[in-house]
Structure 1
């Protein structure tokens, strides 16, 4: 797994259905992407040792807060167990889960960070490889929330 500031392509093309994802989150709750249908959700694949992941943490937290006001949320998907407790120290106040190499492959994650915004129908609304900027997230989240 590589970490970087920018990537050369989207992890998943817009409009593509997202694969299934089921895990136990850091708050002890079960997470199923299928059960999130009907509302957008932001998935951020990251690691605490990744400089770009740490740099984008405030943007991801702000996006989570925007989504949360509308009953949606962001979910952190850490590639190693040490990253989960580090999330709070980086200001990420949303639940975290540990993903497997198989999960990374199914979501097309080759570079960290990778951020995937899933629409209410379970399709990719947008994906970003490398550090995402707040305005990029705002541009995609606003129409998804307006459509609800």
Structure 2
């Protein structure tokens, strides 16, 4: 009984942190575009319309993934970790979206925050548990998360076919959000 109560409290705390970061962080893409360019030293490259910072990581299959190789496609660039309850909630939606859009110009890159996660075995078990078949680049050093200023997970950037940031979403998504976001960009 006590374990259940603690689990509920942890889940509520995680959701509260996400909500606080979402509403108070001032990190939404729309708010970033209102910052004076001379004050944008840390936000540079992350405003709506900016070219997304390139990265090269290794995915769950040992393949090299470079973001710039996906130009010409829309990209759902998601940052997540196995210990994150909202990440667990959105993964089935991401997998279903991936399966429903295999012949489209939309790719999912779900970057695991490996440097902050619970080890290779936990990540592998998570991938197997959810039957994930899209590319999962591993951010082993934390440098990609730092480039994208990831403070809350999940955080997702929607990139257009030119590799530019179209939207930033803090918190979990479902299939409808993914479809709406990718349908409205070129």
TM-score of the aligned structures, taking structure 1 as reference length: 0.83
- Quick check: 1:133 aligned with 2:174? yes
Specify the alignment match of 2:69 in structure 1.
35
- Quick check: 1:17 aligned with 2:58? no
**In structure 1, distance between residues paired with 2:106 and 2:178:** 14
Specify the alignment match of 1:76 in structure 2.
110
Specify the alignment match of 2:127 in structure 1.
87
Q: How many pairs are equivalent?
A: 144
User: Which one has a larger percent strand, Structure 1 or Structure 2?
Assistant: 1
1:106-145 equivalences in 2 (<5 Å): 106-144=147-185
Based on CA coordinates, which of the two structures has the bigger radius of gyration? Answer: 2
**In structure 1, distance between residues paired with 2:66 and 2:164:** 15
Which of structures 1 and 2 has the larger relative contact order (alpha carbons within 8 angstroms, sep 6+)? 1
**In structure 2, distance between residues paired with 1:14 and 1:84:** 31
RMSD: 2.2
TM-score of the aligned structures, taking structure 2 as reference length: 0.68
* 2:60/2:136 contact within 8 Å kept: yes
* 1:41/1:74 contact within 8 Å kept: yes
Segments of 5+ residues of structure 1 without an aligned counterpart are none
Specify the alignment match of 2:95 in structure 1.
61
**In structure 1, distance between residues paired with 2:171 and 2:57:** 24
**In structure 2, distance between residues paired with 1:3 and 1:102:** 24
Deviates more, 1:18-27 or 1:81-90: 81-90
Q: 1:38 to 1:3 in 2, by over 3 A?
A: farther
* 2:106/2:182 contact within 8 Å kept: no
Deviations 1:4-41 (A, max 9, x none): 45423437443221001111111222111111111111
User: Which one has a larger percent helix, Structure 1 or Structure 2?
Assistant: 2
**In structure 1, distance between residues paired with 2:177 and 2:159:** 15
